[in-house]
Chain A
Amino acid sequence: MTSRGPPWYAAPANPSTDGVTVSSVTIGRRRRLRELRRAAPFVLPFVLLFIVVYLIPTGYSIAQSLFKEQRSGLGLGGAQTVFAGFGNYLRAFQDSAFIGSLGRVAFIGVIQVPVMLGLALFFALLLDSRVTTPGRRFFRIAYFLPYGLPGVIAALVWSFLYAPTLSPVTRLLSSVGVHVSFVSDAALPFSIMNILTWAWTGYNTILIFAALQAIPEETMEAAALDGCSGWKAALLIKVPLVRPALLLTLVFSIIGTFQLYNEPVTMKAVAPNLESTYTPMMAALRALSANDFNYAAAQSVVLGALICVLSVLVFRFSAKRVDE
């Protein structure tokens, strides 16, 4: 799994306790030193590992992406590393396989994310309403269960359900005269969308449901007294109140789609027609396995930057909407 966390939370600006005034510069410095010494044993273990696992790899990749291996003459001599500037990035944006993979995940995301979040919001509102009082806990658990399966295991199960001729689903359908393939070129994106929707709808439902449960009872009572209840209350009052949760699920779903890897890779077992550069991650990994480290680094940087820009855009856009 990827680390899931709510990233919109801005730290409250803590009033500085440094208290630096002109007359007490040295006192302030001494105090800062004392504070550092006090906090260091708590902060340093994490921060050092964070530097090793996040900052160094990111910096190293950016550096690597600016170089390339050059073979001399007929390629018989040893390769040497030369500075390439933005050459690898230019190559990535002219690489039809890489651009195609970005287009594919964008297509999958544009259809799958709204469907999944629409369903999740719908289910969360129903779970939150009195309509589903019987069996609410059963539904919550049933919908959440797929999230407990590792991504590749879920994809592995679905790969058996999609397998041409062997799948119990296709056999069931062909027995009533419907012949379908889940792994044809045209069907593949939708088959992958189905796995994603199956795995993540429950997770998003629980997230939105938790936010709905935090709406004070008095708010809904006041609305009901004003004659606003049922679906009207849900759409006019509850949905706007859970905007932060919706935003969070949206950002994580977009991030999740762009880093798509496990599902298509596992699907390859039943879909030999699935390209080895089907998603950007797969494209980058193919470059890696071809020992084209610099190009793999450049593709990773492009993907990481794209995800960051998209997340920031979503947050910006929503912040503006709130201000209006």
Chain B
Amino acid sequence: MTSLDRGHSALDALDAGDRATAVARPAGRSENTAAVPRPRRSRDSPLTTVSPASRVFVLAIMSLFAVYFLAPVWWLLVAATKGQGEIFSGNGFWFSRHFALVHNVQTLFEAQGGIYSRWLLNSLLYAVGGGIVATLLASMCGYALAKLPFPGREAVFGTVLAAVLLPAPVLAIPLYLVFSYTHVVNTFWSVFIPSIVSPFGVYLSRIYAASSVPDQLIEAGRLDGASELRIFGIGVRLMAPAMVTIFLFQFVAIWTNYLLPSLMLANDKLQPVTVGLVSWRELQGYPISYTTVVTGAFVSVVPVVAMFLSLQSFWSKGLATGSVK
């Protein structure tokens, strides 16, 4: 009962987040107010009624698919709590009598001289550092594209927009060719530099700046003799919701990336956790046991899923801004 209650309050908190971000959005936007979904709206008119039978039927289907989507994650959680050798015996979807999660985590962080914590730190460094720099660069560029007219502006925007269509994996081999020619491969920078360029971020901050930073603010700043950078420092506060979205997208993009770092980094001390775990999986259980691999996968997923759930409203908002326009 208590766990149910807690679950409920967590969902309420999520909802409160919904409302808070709705309030945080700038008010003086006329261009795309229709694009912002108002949260907590009952869709259909009260004139329509839903028969209990069809409601039960729909909920049954939805629940069935919820099981499908949750089962593998549940298996990962359960498997991470099982002792060595128990992972493939008994019911895979239920805990064994022996709860070994703490022991497994200990083994995980001691394996191969503690390389796992190194991988986690690398992932964090690439994803947080890359996310922050990418957000800053993209919002500066997007702000200028929206608010500072200059010759060639549309050409720049068009080129950046075309790049959104070019998928990162296809770019990985060309990047590798250039970076190996310039001897950048197998360094921190070979993964970090591609991580700080976000064409999607430029796109998003341009449309957001266009509607949320008033021209009067920029003109008033100029009349007061403030520098352009100083004016941007004020305007950027109005772009905060878009910047959070850009950061989140970029963080997840970098954290989940596998191909680029696996191509660039032969040195396992520089690798992120995705590359490390796949190399462990390829050992087929020895000397790194399957239990350790599964525990490693579980531990690596926890921070992202936690961040995901706590910031879910931002995700829907960011996606909405993109999908409606």
Contacts and interface: CB of A to CB of B under 8 A. Distances in A.
A307 to B, nearest CB: 6
A293 interface: yes
A146 B69 contact: yes
B169 interface: yes
A247 B231 CA distance: 38
Interface string B18-56: 000000000000000011111101111101101000110
A123 interface: yes
A6 B197 contact: no
A161 B75 CA distance: 9
Interface string A162-195: 0000111101100000000000000000000000
B217 to A, nearest CB: 16
Question: How big is chain A's contact interface, by range?
Answer: 35 or more
A278 interface: no
Interface in B44-97: 44-45, 47-48, 50, 54-55, 58-59, 62, 65-66, 68-70, 72-73, 75-76, 79, 88, 91-93
Interface in A201-256: 201-202, 206-214, 216-217, 220-221, 224-225, 229-230, 233, 244-245, 248, 251, 255-256
Given A150-B255, A150-B274, A35 B151 contact: yes
B306 to A, nearest CB: 9
A135 B11 CA distance: 10
B319 interface: yes
Interface in B251-270: 252-259, 263
Contact of B199 (A5, A160, A214, A265): A5
A42 B141 contact: yes
A299 B59 CA distance: 47
Chain B contact surface mostly: helix
Given A3-B249, A60-B177, A132-B59, A214 B11 contact: no
Given A42-B143, A143-B65, A156-B281, A281 B177 contact: no
A142 interface: yes
Contacts, number: 360
Contacts of B263: 285, 288
B41 A1 contact: no
B173 A153 contact: no
B290 A5 contact: no
A161 B72 CA distance: 8
A220 B59 contact: no
A148 interface: yes
A316 B233 CA distance: 40
Interface in B216-237: 228-229, 232
Nearest to A301: B174
Chain A contact surface mostly: helix
A52 B58 CA distance: 51
7 contacts: A7-B162, A9-B207, A11-B154, A142-B70, A160-B79, A220-B43, A244-B323
Given A43-B150, A281-B259, A307-B170, 19 more contacts: A5-B199, A5-B203, A7-B161, A54-B163, A54-B171, A129-B43, A129-B50, A142-B69, A144-B315, A145-B305, A150-B301, A157-B76, A198-B68, A202-B69, A213-B320, A224-B45, A245-B323, A288-B173, A288-B263
Interface of B: 11, 14-15, 34-39, 41-45, 47-48, 50, 54-55, 58-59, 62, 65-66, 68-70, 72-73, 75-76, 79, 88, 91-93, 137-138, 140-141, 143-145, 148-151, 153-154, 156-171, 173-178, 181, 193-194, 196-200, 202-204, 206-207, 228-229, 232, 249, 252-259, 263, 274, 277-278, 281-282, 284, 290, 293-294, 297, 300-301, 304-305, 308-309, 312, 315-317, 319-320, 322-325
